[in-house]
């Protein structure tokens, strides 16, 4: 009977288990304030402004995202893309520029970002209009104020203020609701602190939008600055006391910021990033009160 039972069981059809669908980026275009919109592609964000004379668009993010955005803009707005502006040089934000930039589109970037895109042969629409410190682009009854704050993340990272909606857009070196990325690859912790202080010292903005994380207020940006300063101060103090990196990672906790996303996973990595910067850029190991007695030969 047992072999017969086994044969019968094999003949019973089993329900098919479908493979989970491939994870697709969530594309969204949502109005924020006035004529300013946020484009979302997964965990990435960009900003665009729909003015009376056309569109001002920022980071295309990647080719697939740019193709979706191009179609959505054509569906929603009967207006050409007059300007495409890159926030900085990193390829996870600027690829796909050729999808959005037409014959009448001016591509803008800070001069250091434009230089890096050209020197590293990034396959995107290269900037044809650059600036060293600041630039104001007027489009119809609106304008965008672009400003360079010095090194902070990558090359040529700028802030963009969209007026009259008074929306401030910054990518990577200010992220609200989350710790900075992992061990701060390509970041300058000194520049992040200085640049964020500059943003807070400027005329108040009504809404902050980041390339990652959530939107927020000036108070949210001030809290982010508080985290950067606390992180830097704790790592510096520990290094001056002669503590090695594993000890710093075990001891530094910063509990006031525990509610930020990725706190448990990325705090040790943030510590490592600041530690690396203090060694590589500030030569802390070469100080008599620092670590070791390394000297340059």
Is residue 10 scored above 80 in pLDDT? no
Range in 130-139, 159-168, 275-284 with the lowest mean pLDDT: 275-284
Do the domain assignments include residue 16? no
Do the domain assignments include residue 238? no
Q: Predicted confidence band at 48 (pLDDT cuts at 50, 70, 90)?
A: very high
As given in the structure block, the two tokens for residue 224 are 């982010």
Q: Coil, helix or strand for 189?
A: helix
Do the domain assignments include residue 142? yes
Q: Predicted confidence band at 289 (pLDDT cuts at 50, 70, 90)?
A: low
Q: Coil, helix or strand for 88?
A: coil
CB 66 within 8 A of CB 97: yes
Do the domain assignments include residue 204? no
Mean per-residue pLDDT over the chain, rounded: 91
Query: Residue range 260-286: average pLDDT?
Result: 95
Give me the pLDDT at residue 11, please: 44
Q: Predicted confidence band at 81 (pLDDT cuts at 50, 70, 90)?
A: very high
Q: Coil, helix or strand for 232?
A: helix
Is residue 221 scored above 80 in pLDDT? yes
Do the domain assignments include residue 287? no
Question: In Å, how far from its chain's centre is CA 144?
Answer: 19
Give me the pLDDT at residue 287, please: 81
Edge-first strand order for the sheet with 142-148 is: 134-139, 142-148, 158-163, 167-170, 207-210
Give me the pLDDT at residue 253, please: 97
Domain count, the chain: 1
> How many C-beta atoms surround the C-beta of residue 149 within 10 A?
21
Give me the pLDDT at residue 283, please: 92
Is residue 191 scored above 80 in pLDDT? yes
Is residue 294 scored above 60 in pLDDT? no
Give me the pLDDT at residue 125, please: 98
Is residue 20 scored above 60 in pLDDT? no
Query: Residue range 27-37: average pLDDT?
Result: 98
Do the domain assignments include residue 242? no
H/E element, 288: none
Query: Residue range 64-81: average pLDDT?
Result: 96
CB 105 within 8 A of CB 80: yes
Do the domain assignments include residue 188? no
As given in the structure block, the two tokens for residue 78 are 């009967």
Q: Coil, helix or strand for 103?
A: coil
Domain limits for position 92: 25-172
Higher pLDDT, 284 or 207: 207
Do the domain assignments include residue 97? yes
pLDDT tens sequence across 108-138? 999 999 999 999 999 999 999 999 999 999 9
Give me the pLDDT at residue 273, please: 98
**101/154 Cα distance (integer angstroms):** 23
Give me the pLDDT at residue 4, please: 45
Q: Predicted confidence band at 60 (pLDDT cuts at 50, 70, 90)?
A: very high
For residue 146, the domain's CATH number is 3.60.15.10
pLDDT tens sequence across 231-255? 999 999 999 999 999 999 999 999 9
Query: Residue range 194-199: average pLDDT?
Result: 98
Is residue 180 scored above 60 in pLDDT? yes
């Amino acid at each position: 009977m047992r072999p017969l039972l086994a044969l019968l069981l094999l003949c019973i059809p089993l329900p098919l288990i479908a493979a989970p669908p491939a994870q697709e980026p969530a594309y969204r275009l949502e109005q924020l304030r006035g004529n300013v919109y946020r484009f979302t592609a997964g965990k990435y964000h960009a900003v665009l402004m729909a003015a009376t004379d056309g569109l001002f668009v920022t980071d295309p993010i990647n080719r697939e995202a740019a193709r979706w955005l191009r179609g959505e803009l054509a569906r929603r707005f009967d207006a050409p893309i007059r300007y495409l502006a890159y926030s900085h040089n990193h390829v996870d934000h600027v690829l796909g520029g050729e999808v959005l930039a037409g014959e009448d589109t001016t591509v803008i970037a800070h001069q250091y970002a434009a230089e890096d895109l050209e020197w590293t042969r990034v396959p995107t629409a290269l900037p044809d209009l650059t600036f060293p410190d600041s630039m104001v682009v007027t489009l119809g009854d609106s304008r965008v104020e672009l400003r360079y704050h010095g090194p902070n993340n990558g090359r040529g990272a700028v802030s963009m203020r969209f007026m009259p909606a008074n929306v401030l857009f910054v990518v990577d070196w200010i992220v609200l609701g989350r710790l900075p990325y992992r061990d701060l690859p390509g970041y300058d912790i000194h520049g992040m602190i200085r640049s964020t202080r500059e943003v807070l010292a400027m005329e108040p903005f009504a809404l902050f939008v980041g390339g990652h994380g959530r939107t927020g207020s000036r108070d949210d940006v001030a809290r982010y600055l508080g985290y950067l300063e606390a992180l830097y101060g704790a790592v510096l103090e520990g290094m001056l006391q002669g503590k090695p990196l594993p000890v710093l990672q075990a001891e530094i906790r910063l509990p006031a910021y525990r509610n930020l996303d990725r706190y448990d996973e990325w705090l040790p990595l943030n510590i490592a990033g600041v530690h690396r910067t203090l060694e590589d850029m500030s030569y802390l190991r070469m100080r008599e009160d620092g670590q070791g007695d390394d000297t340059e030969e």
